[in-house]
Structure 1
């Protein structure tokens, strides 16, 4: 990241009905300041450790973020040339998508925490429209493999915030 680029992944401390909430957002601070904090851009919520740091053990994914992610995946990514090619190889099956952060060798199955979800593929080898299903076992923050590679994806970020 250059010195002028803002982090797309940030923690927001928000007062809500008399309590402090700690939200992890896929939202840069300038956009948050100008537009406010959209709940669909909040990946989830956590309770900080005693030292104030992020506690992965308390992290809970935001269902609105997952719904937005599924909507995104059912759009342009489902029709991308790479997805079309991969679907042709698995007619009548599921096409599983692996998190870009994953480093498992190609001849081995990735851990469930690194599987983003799946698309249904019809018998002709085409992605079934609106068939993406998020894998609830996926971890946006994995102790083994780190932050999800999707949280570095500017296309997803721009779509989420409707930035042309």
Structure 2
């Protein structure tokens, strides 16, 4: 070739692409990851609150049972059990706080799809809490109330 001619230079490659700003697909992926992390965090916090509330309600119920075992007062047991059921019922349906008498018992039965409160051992919740002494079937009331709480706590969704 001609030594006097133009000098050719080697091929120059363009610079490597920069990592910033990312391509649109990476932005979409980042947004999805953020949304997923926020959703998982919210779900986790709700489940922690729900479990904590369940433990609190069951602990309060167990305290009522323990107090009955120590004092053997049926009226006091009925009053404490009724209070625990009312607090749990208020979380299920805020209108339950205003229910009284047969309507309250029907609310309890509707949640379990039974009739043990209206026509069974749970009927003592109508008047036993207001007596000074009451002769009740305490083990049956405790078992029924515990079953209701476990059933009701399964459907509670605590929003906070």
TM-score, with structure 2 as normaliser: 0.29
* Structure holding more helix per residue: 2
Structure with larger RCO (C-alpha < 8 A, sep 6+)? 2
TM-score (norm 1): 0.28
Name the structure where strand makes up a greater proportion of residues.
1
